[in-house]
Amino acid sequence: MKQKGEKISMLTAYDFSLAKIVDSTGTDIILVGDSAGNVMAGYQTTLPITLDEIIYHASSVVRAVKRAMVVVDLPFGTYQSNSRKALQGAIRVMKESGAHAVKLEGGRDVKKSIKRICKAGIPVMGHLGLTPQSIYKFGTYTVRATEQQEAQLLKDDALLLESLGCFGMVLEKIPAKLGAEVATSVNIPVIGIGAGNQVDGQVLVLQDMLGITHEFEPRFLRRYMNLYEDIGKAVKRYNLDVRTGNFPSEYEQY
Ligand code: KIV
Ligand code: NA
């Protein structure tokens, strides 16, 4: 698709029902992101989610998907300590969920893990820029690589990811100009989230773009619905109907 200049559409999904809808629309890649920790479990960061938890989400998604490529995030702590453990985690994801690829955050710092997982025949997607598993290093969710030194490190890491055999990468919350530079510097697809529109595709968290979440408003987030409000309205109507005896109606009973 990159070679043909076709943009790649990627969205997250963490469960069977929504994955089924997303897949039916022809979305190219479904990401079982560790943002499931925030969205589904209510954790403050992506750090706590476990391998068992992400595998549960991933297998639910895989059961729903007929067409899309399913990529699964390796949780924090499963690939940073050593490459053997990283490979074991990636193998568990592939065997137990039936997904097609894994994603992990970082470049040179996790080089050995990427190499080892790729060598085992498991497609690896990289993730650079604002990598949420490193939030306590950054200290803030603001845009990354605005300065020359960090931008250069990111560009070098992007080339490294390609040379290690990654099939693609996510760039999160970096200047659009840097996103464009990286996308032209590598042959593998670069999927952006807050990385401008000169990259090869875009990804958003499904619950964010549907407006189910509503606590934050990053500039990169386009909300296509306000389901927080709409679901709230529907539930209020239901509550009212139950309390007034208006539900169930004559027809809605046996
Ligand atoms: O976990 C996630 O949702 C992600 C995307 C934002 C790229 O990694
Ligand atoms: Na993630």
Class in CATH terms, 8-223: alpha beta
How far is the CA of 5 from the CAs of 30, 151, 171, 184, in angstroms? 20, 25, 18, 12
- At 123, list the tokens: 């497609």
Catalytic residue, from 6, 162, 172, 252: name it: 172
Distance 170 CA to ligand 1 centre (A): 8
Q: Where are the beta strands (DSSP E) in the chain?
A: 8-12, 29-32, 69-73, 101-103, 124-129, 168-172, 190-193, 201-204
pTM metric for this prediction:
0.98
pLDDT digits (tens, 9 = 90+) for 174-227: 999 999 999 999 999 999 999 999 999 999 999 999 999 998 899 999 999 999
| Minimal-distance CA residue to ligand 1 atom 8 | 33
Domain boundaries along the sequence of the chain: 8-223, 229-254
Quick: pLDDT tens for 136-170.
999 999 999 999 999 999 999 999 999 999 999 99
Q: Exposed, middle or buried by CB within 10 Å (0-12, 13-18, 19+), for 39?
A: middle
Which tokens hold the place of 203? Answer: 């990804």
Is residue 51 within 6 Å of ligand 1 at its C-beta?
no
Q: Predicted ipTM?
A: 0.99
- For the chain, how big is the Rg over CA atoms in Å? 20
